[in-house]
Structure 1
Amino acid sequence: MQKNLKIVTIGGGSSYTPELVEGFIKRYAELPIKELWLVDVESGKQKQDIIFDLCQRMIERAGVPITLYKTLDRREALIDADFVTTQFRVGQLKARELDESIPLSHGYLGQETNGAGGLFKGLRTIPVIFDIIKDVEKLCPKAWIINFTNPAGMVTEAVFRHTRFKNFIGVCNVPVGMKMFIRDVLKVRPQEALSIDLFGLNHLVFIKDVYVNGQSRFTELLDGVASGRLSANSVKNIFDLPFSEGLIRSLNLLPCSYLLYYFKQKEMLAIEMGEFYKGGARATVVQKVEKQLFDLYKKPDLDVKPAELELRGGAYYSDAACDVISAIYNDKQTEHYVNFPHRGHIDNIPADWAVEMTCSIGRNGAKPHPRLKHFDEKTLGLIYTIKGFEIATSEAALSGKFNDVLLALNLSPLILSDKDAEKLARDMLLAHQHLLPNFTQAVAALKEQDTHE
């Protein structure tokens, strides 16, 4: 077995990093990490310093021989790395605030992975992921990249569609939360085997069956959710509205919380507009939570991950990433729910799509679960629509063309008018221009238009 693992975390100043480090400490016996590097950018240096000090205290308390490093030089960190985790936000939370508030100001849902907000987060993120891949190919070509930067599905699609890099897996906390919910409501004991048939796209997944010790328990789970006795919302950053009983029973599937944006678009928009006019979008809340977290992290006597971290919407991302890394390193062939290319395994969608579904993970990465060969026909219309949006966004991120942004925006089912799409694309492109170097010419053309109007 390989020893002296080196892991690099890009976005090391993230508030989630203590959870990641806690995960590595818990798994030290199976993941013998020698070096852990925290990488960030100049604007994130202050947070990186606070996180580094806290994580150093956590490692010292645990008594594990992990050497922690911090740097603003990504290439220095990547030399001979075994695993690279990516958890960054281009433009930080101020950019997210624009992703949410600009669409809401036009009367549209503002959300960081769907619609106009998700599109522009993808436009900012995909080129940076590609730059990281280029560095990895030069400095640690055998390393695996475990990505939990959103929009994870869109990013994974872009990587496998536009690069030749294969050692890439997208991780999301939504399936993890769904699994924890199922364990709780079915009272599954730790020694019992739980297997979940989950399929779809990132933030667009459905559960079609649940097995405990090989026996299906799906009917009682579905009845509980459909009747309203059980709330299946496992995500902190989405309002907890129940799906209608008719929808759940007619689908005969358990949808993830993000499907509220499609099945309850009117209600979700009304709630978000109310929150927006009362004082801001979700990003405003998250910034307050982050400030409280970093005030806690600064305390010199804190040497564990604080429970308050779970108030952030992405709790358990990091734990899921640790499990994936361990499965690859130890060739575990264990069950996970991640984003990866199915390569023709699913018989009723295109073979080149990246999907999010149940898989087994080992030394060679993710393999689709043999029980899942077919996506439920009832879901295919929505899945095809969102995949078209993801593909168009990845094309726009590379081309830097305004019309490609327009196409992607018009393909989103959350945008209801082509005229509104033009206004949204224009406003958001100008608002984010300093973070979108690929769009320099497009921005210049928009400004030129302004001078002639």
Structure 2
Amino acid sequence: MKKYSVLVAGGGSTFTPGIVLMLLDNLDKFPIKELKFYDNDAARQETIGKACAVLIKERAPEVVFSYTTDPREAFSGVDFVMAHIRVGKYPMRELDEKIPLKYGVVGQETCGPGGIAYGMRSIGGVLELVDYMEKYSPNAWMLNYSNPAAIVAEATRSMRPNSKILNICDMPVGIEVRMAEILGLESRKEMTVKYYGLNHFGWYSDIRDQAGNDLMPKLKEHVAKYGYVVHKDIDSQHVEPSWNDTFAKAKDVFALDTNTLPNTYLKYYLFPDYVVEHSDKEYTRANEVMDGREKHVFGECRKIAEKGSSAGASLHIDEHASYIVDLARAIAYNTKERMLLIVPNQGSVSNFDPTAMVEIPCLVGNTGPEPMQIGKIPQFQLGLMNQQVAVEKLVVEAWMEKSYTKLWQAITLSKTVPSASVAKAILDDLIAANKDYWPELN
């Protein structure tokens, strides 16, 4: 069995240890000969890298491990690049959330003006990674889950149309894990789902078990009462209050169209007033993460590095990490596994823009994804998706053309923003905050 060389781009991320643990857990299914990290922040990466060196030495000493800030060293001789970068890190995320909230607008990492700001920072970073990969390992595949995935996917479609990059998101995985629990199934893989939409903006139209039985009625009954909240949430240490609210609010999103089951992120577009009312303008999700996950992961990594042992450490495998291993396996072994990916529509949703990047089920093999046919979608979803895809395309055009007007149009068109004057005020604040990261707009 061939052993693969894998690069994690974003080696200093709090999600990196979870990916390493997942890869180590799956060496029988996806053998690795070499694992490398790449990051442009040497100090952050070193903290994570030293701990991961201990984990690898304990569990798979035969795997060659290194981390570097040198693109040539990182990207040479790899089969897969697993990319999850955050340009500007959490301090910029905090501004993405707090600037819109100042104007009574949703402040969220990937939705509305905050997502647009993050997108403007991410485009250049992801394109740079694609270019390094094509230069140093032209046959490699990039599995990208850098956010905001919709804008990043549109940017790579427009500017790197032939690149071997697959854009993915773990949110549907998280929702499907909950669905499986609601149904009393062992695993979300016991379900076959039909889903369509844009990233963080989609709907399940059909869910069946392996025998073909329709699971939607039971799921709808639960979601109508509780949203995606499951019983373990009530006393769980792992579900933060902000996430619990998101899972619960799915009940109200579902009420708008009881023929489908929604992605949780639709709450930001359909109930922005509710979201703003329930937001703390002084302490947003970015603060929760910096005070919670960030401190925890870096603290655990320092302990592991100091002790030279992971005994007693509480790092755990992330749900999205398992998804990325499945995707790598599908490409490596031509498994034709059915997975949700963000791909050019090209007629899959027959009554929607063929150039839009849609999130739909695909069969994945060694030549990449084969998107499945969805057919026509209802007017309600079509109207929402037309508006949102226009926002995403305008953001990418604004980045390419350095256009102030197009970015103003994008923010104005977002369903989370009430008017062009509010959009302009937010945009001007975001430009000042992002002067080190965005192209200069004119």
Common fold by TM > 0.5: yes
Once the two structures are superposed, what CA deviation does each residue of 1:133-156 show, in whole Å capped at 9, x if it has no partner? 222222111111111110011111
- Paired position in structure 1 for 2:38: 39
- Paired position in structure 2 for 1:101: 98
Distance between the aligned counterparts of 1:218 and 1:235, measured in 2? 25
Once the two structures are superposed, what CA deviation does each residue of 1:39-66 show, in whole Å capped at 9, x if it has no partner? 111xx32221111121112112213521
Amino acid at match of 2:388: I
Aligned-residue offset at 1:180: 0.5
Distance between the aligned counterparts of 2:84 and 2:227, measured in 1? 35
Aligned-residue offset at 1:230: 5.4
- Paired position in structure 2 for 1:338: 341
- Paired position in structure 1 for 2:323: 320
Contact 2:38 2:74 in 1 (8 A): yes
Q: Could you tell me which of 221, 224, 231 is aligned with 2:222?
A: 224
TM-score, scaled to structure 2: 0.91
Are 2:390 and 1:393 equivalent residues in the alignment? no
Amino acid at match of 2:191: L
Aligned-residue offset at 1:316: 2.1
- Paired position in structure 1 for 2:424: 422
Amino acid at match of 1:225: V
Q: How does 1:63-74 map to 2 (within 5 A)?
A: 63-74=60-71
Aligned-residue offset at 1:164: 2.5
Are 2:24 and 1:25 equivalent residues in the alignment? yes
Q: How does 1:31-430 map to 2 (within 5 A)?
A: 31-41=30-40, 44-189=41-186, 193-213=190-210, 214-228=212-226, 231=229, 238=243, 239-240=245-246, 241-244=248-251, 247-248=254-255, 250-272=257-279, 275-276=280-281, 279-289=282-292, 290-300=294-304, 301=307, 303=310, 307=314, 315-370=318-373, 372-430=374-432
Contact 1:7 1:37 in 2 (8 A): yes
After alignment, is 373-382 or 231-240 more displaced?
231-240
Distance between the aligned counterparts of 1:306 and 1:320, measured in 2? 23
Distance between the aligned counterparts of 1:402 and 1:245, measured in 2? 36
Aligned-residue offset at 1:235: 8.0
Aligned-residue offset at 1:75: 2.5
Aligned-residue offset at 1:109: 0.9
Contact 1:111 1:118 in 2 (8 A): yes
- Paired position in structure 2 for 1:445: none
Contact 2:193 2:204 in 1 (8 A): yes
Amino acid at match of 1:335: R
Aligned-residue offset at 1:257: 1.1
After alignment, is 297-306 or 372-381 more displaced?
297-306
Once the two structures are superposed, what CA deviation does each residue of 1:209-260 show, in whole Å capped at 9, x if it has no partner? 1111221111111111113375279985543343456953743111111111
Aligned-residue offset at 1:306: 5.6
Distance between the aligned counterparts of 2:372 and 2:239, measured in 1? 25
Specify every segment of 5 or more residues in structure 2 that has no aligned partner in the other structure, as ranges.
none
CA 99–63 in structure 1, closer or farther in 2 if over 3 Å, else same: same
Amino acid at match of 2:18: E
Once the two structures are superposed, what CA deviation does each residue of 1:172-202 show, in whole Å capped at 9, x if it has no partner? 1111111111111111235983211121111
Aligned-residue offset at 1:331: 0.8
Amino acid at match of 1:217: L
Amino acid at match of 2:353: P
After alignment, is 102-111 or 126-135 more displaced?
126-135
- Paired position in structure 1 for 2:7: 8
CA 105–248 in structure 1, closer or farther in 2 if over 3 Å, else same: same
Aligned-residue offset at 1:397: 1.6
Contact 1:392 1:408 in 2 (8 A): yes
RMSD: 2.3
Distance between the aligned counterparts of 1:76 and 1:245, measured in 2? 50
Aligned-residue offset at 1:203: 0.5
Once the two structures are superposed, what CA deviation does each residue of 1:10-68 show, in whole Å capped at 9, x if it has no partner? 11010101111112112212322111110111xx3222111112111211221352111
Contact 1:346 1:375 in 2 (8 A): yes
CA 64–366 in structure 1, closer or farther in 2 if over 3 Å, else same: farther
TM-score, scaled to structure 1: 0.89
Aligned-residue offset at 1:9: 1.2
Distance between the aligned counterparts of 1:219 and 1:306, measured in 2? 42
Contact 2:11 2:48 in 1 (8 A): yes
Contact 2:182 2:222 in 1 (8 A): no
Distance between the aligned counterparts of 1:120 and 1:17, measured in 2? 24
Contact 1:174 1:235 in 2 (8 A): no
Distance between the aligned counterparts of 2:188 and 2:273, measured in 1? 43
What secondary structure sits across from 2:354 in the alignment?
Answer: coil
CA 347–203 in structure 1, closer or farther in 2 if over 3 Å, else same: same
What secondary structure sits across from 1:156 in the alignment?
Answer: helix
Distance between the aligned counterparts of 2:227 and 2:348, measured in 1? 36
Contact 2:250 2:264 in 1 (8 A): no
Specify every segment of 5 or more residues in structure 1 that has no aligned partner in the other structure, as ranges.
443-453
